[in-house]
Structure 1
Amino acid sequence: MNLKKIITIATLVVITGLLIYGGILANQIFSKNTKFSQTEVYVFVPTGSTYEEVKKIIEPFVDNMDRFEMVANKRSYPENVKSGRFLFTKGMNSYQLVKALRSNIPVKLAFNNQERLEDFAVRVSSQIEPDSLMLMNTFKDSLFLKENGFTEENVFAMFIPNTYEVYWNISAVKFRDKMIKEYHSFWNKERIAKASAQGLTPVEATILASIVHKESVKKDERPRIAGVYLNRLKIGMPLQADPTVIYAIKKKDNDFDQVIKRVFYNDLFLTSPYNTYKVIGLPPGPIAMPDVTALDAVLDPEKHNFIYFCASVERFGYHEFAATLPEHNVNAAKYADWINSQGVNR
């Protein structure tokens, strides 16, 4: 066999070997490497995770970890682990899995109708990485409160119910900073001017809106209820809002899970800064997270001369309004008779 033929055969052997290796490599990189039945799954990599920890997190979803590791090493992933929320789709190959672990997917974080700051922190912590304690400590940071004109009692007014796009691994501080930015965006010059026209600051408007929110689920009635409370404030009359008494009872009992359907006469004497039967003016903080319709009701209240209102027995969910105490007493008596007939004891 001459030298030329030997070189030719050797070359063919090398090429064949390279093709075989290339095929093996392509199979390692581009063949399907998932083992979940869903169309897609999200994996969460906590802040500070190591490569070994990431492997444990994704192992339930990866069919062949050796193939994944081979690609991860070639793509320098072990030295560049990222925290966050990542999307795996059914049928991804190893290359796509590594690529997915470098693309942090935002969370559509939503909240509304929370009763307390503590409830809000729990709600938010179920959607992002920081836990509720971290969030609470951040919200109540004394320097933050001072710089932004809040107190521990009224900082709850900062949070405007909506849906926000954030990264799952956002820090508690960055989340808080985003919320204060959204707060200032909501309370633009127009809304601040409307609040001022009612004799209120944005925080005071939010506190009153929280009462309006709790007083009625009927959005079309909220501007009229807001008008009643604003009329009372203008004449120095106590707000006498039953929802504040209910909040005061729950706060006293440290039990916000209890359901209170009825306020009794003796409840009106409960000593609490949230009991607006005893305290003139607004309570020290919101009694709930008001939605935007309740806020708008306070900013654009119905103009009228009503001072009193109570639940209607003829239009359930709505209220009967009165300008004088005798008129109100007639409406209140109807409601008292109805609720007694229902046997509602608390």
Structure 2
Amino acid sequence: MKKLGYAALIVAALAVAVFFLVLQRWSGSGPLQRATTVQIAPGTSMSGAASALEKAGAISSAGAFKLFARLFGGNTGIKAGEYSIPAHVSQADILKLLQGGRTLQRFVTIPEGWPSVMVQDAVMNATGMTGTIDAPAEGSILPDSYSFQRGEARPAIVARMQRAMSDYLAAAWEKRKPGIAVATPREALILASIVEKETGKEAERRTVAAVYSNRLKRGMPLQADPTVIYPVTKGRPLGRRILRSELQADNGYNTYAKTGLPIGPIANPGRASIDAVLDPAASSALYFVADGTGGHVFADTLEQHNANVQKWYAIRRARGEM
């Protein structure tokens, strides 16, 4: 009887030892020497995922990973996507990654005020996407950072950017203040693109919107320099002073040569510029000029504006710019 008791103890001890060895192999450091990425396609089985992980060097044995996953992973399935696998990560943590769907996040960022030719550049240069795109319709993209998965099609990503703009513009239009200078969401988008290009200062955005709104209501030309530049460069930086011939060009965009709004947006405006046009500041200003600090000084009359312009010229002369 004693011999049987000792044998049972030995078997139990061996079983515990084996269990802890298995547990150590499951939760201990893995073989991966440096971080890598693994793509798990939609519909991939646990067997397929294990093979992909073994091929990437994240685990030593696909068979052992499947067995351990059945023992310790519960009934939760894995999710498709691209995963960033850290160096020496355990098999247990890899399974948690796949079950939790904590996929690698890739982003393409569209800053406020970018023209659509630059949006096209950014999307085409983003690695991990597929397909090609033309420049989207100007003003149709909502500036933001957009996540995407490896292999996602560029046209689908642009469509998401355009849906975001359509949705935001529609929601903002519903909350517009009465008596504004624009009559349609399209007009709001066009004016917002001008406001976006004229100032990067949050504090003065609604005042810039007020200046252009006041001019529209009075039938005055907007005289916005960015509308002169847009037909020349499609919104890219001009890199020089505007020519007199460009100020006189009648091309549908130049707001020195015509009254009212341009025929279309000149950039992709952000949320704040759209909001500013739909709720401009309570201001009677009709003019503004740079103040030398990156902002502008505003004026209600031409006499005040001319005095402000002379101050700006003095600043530029002191800087050696004139």
- 1:262-277 matched pairs, under 5 angstroms: 262-270=241-249, 272-277=251-256
Contact kept in structure 1, 2:195 and 2:209, CA below 8 Å: yes
* 1:210 matched to 2:209: no
The Cα shift of 1:185 comes to: 5.2
Which residue in the other structure is 2:115 paired with?
116
Contact 2:190 2:261 in 1 (8 A): yes
SS state of the match for residue 203, structure 2? coil
Deviation by residue 1:150-176 (Cα, 9 ceiling, x = unmatched): xx23423xx1x4567x56466653773
Residue type matched to 1:280 in 2? T
**C-alpha displacement of 1:115:** 0.9
Counterpart CA distance in 2 for 1:233 and 1:10 is 97
How many angstroms does 1:128 deviate by? 8.8
What amino acid does structure 2 have at the position aligned with 1:115? W
Q: Would the aligned equivalents of 2:212 and 2:222 in 1 still touch at CA under 8 Å?
A: yes
Q: Structure 1: any 5+ residue segments left out of the alignment? A: 141-151
Which residue does the alignment assign to 1:99? 96
Work out which of the residue numbers 227, 237, 240 in structure 2 matches 1:244.
227
Measure how far apart 1:300 and its partner are.
1.8
Cα 1:307–1:56, aligned 2, differ >3 Å: closer, same or farther? farther
Change (3 A) 1:184 1:88: same
For residues 36 and 270 of structure 2, the distance between their equivalents in structure 1, rounded to whole angstroms, comes to 30
Query: Is 2:292 the partner of 1:295?
Result: no
- The whole-number CA distance in structure 1 between the counterparts of 2:310 and 2:172 is 44
Decide whether aligned partners of structure 1 residues 316 and 303 sit closer, same or farther in structure 2, where only a CA change above 3 A counts: same
Residue 70 (structure 1) aligned with residue 68 (structure 2): no
2:286 to 303, 307, 315: 307
Q: Is the 8 A contact 2:288 2:297 kept in 1?
A: yes
* Secondary structure of 1:220's aligned partner: helix
Distance 1:45 1:207, change over 3 A: farther
Give 1:323's aligned amino acid. Answer: T
Contact 1:192 1:202 survives alignment (8 Å):
no
Residue 39 (structure 2) aligns with: 45
User: How many angstroms apart in 2 are the aligned matches of 1:54 and 1:196?
Assistant: 61
Q: Give, in angstroms, the shift of residue 241 of structure 1.
A: 0.2
- Partners of 1:46 and 1:129 within 8 A in 2: no
Cross-structure match for 1:281: 260
Aligned to 1:155, the other structure's residue is in SS state: coil
Identity rate of aligned residues, in percent? 25
Deviation per residue, 1:239-286 (Å, 9 max, x gap): 2101222333322xxx82x46364343331345433222243323443
CA distance in 1, matches of 2:124, 2:40: 14
In 1, the alpha carbon distance for the partners of 2:122 and 2:60 equals 39
| Greater mean alpha carbon deviation, residues 188-197 or residues 261-270 | 188-197
Structure 2: how far apart are the matches of 1:174 and 1:207?
23
In structure 1, distance between residues paired with 2:275 and 2:14? 74
- Aligned residue for 1:309, secondary structure, equals strand
Deviation string 1:187-219 (CA, Å, 9 cap, x unpaired) is 337645437743332232132122112212332
TM-score (norm 2): 0.70
Unpaired stretches in structure 2, ≥5 consecutive residues: none
Where does residue 86 of structure 1 map in the other structure? Answer: 83
Aligned equivalents of 1:297, 1:117: Cα separation in 2? 21
1:323 to 296, 301, 306: 301
d(CA) in 2 for partners of 1:128, 1:69:
33
Query: What amino acid is aligned across from residue 102 of structure 1 in structure 2?
Result: Q
Q: Which of the numbers 130, 146, 159 marks the counterpart of 1:176?
A: 159
Contact 2:190 2:265 (C-alpha < 8 Å) held by counterparts: yes
* Separation in structure 2 between the aligned mates of residue 327 and residue 22 of structure 1, nearest angstrom: 86
1:234 aligns with 2:231: no
1:222 aligns with 2:221: no
Question: In 2, Cα distance between the equivalents of 1:29 and 1:192?
Answer: 56
- After superposition, the Cα gap between the structure-2 partners of 1:16 and 1:221, relative to the gap in structure 1 and judged at 3 Å, is closer
Q: Would the aligned equivalents of 1:273 and 1:283 in 2 still touch at CA under 8 Å?
A: yes
| 2:139 and 2:266 in contact (8 A); partners too | no
Q: How many residues align?
A: 309
Looking at structure 2, the residues matched to 222 and 42 of structure 1 have their Cα atoms a distance apart, in angstroms, of 45
Could you say what the CA RMSD is over the residues aligned between the two structures, in angstroms? 4.5
Q: What is the distance in 2 between the residues matched to 1:283 and 1:57? A: 57
- Residues 24 and 319 of structure 1: CA distance in aligned 2, closer, same or farther (over 3 Å): same
**2:33/2:87 contact within 8 Å kept:** yes
Letter in 2 for 1:260: G
Inter-CA distance 185–226: structure 2 relative to 1 (3 Å threshold): closer
Q: Name whichever of 5-14 and 214-223 sits farther off.
A: 5-14
Paired residue secondary structure (1:243)? helix
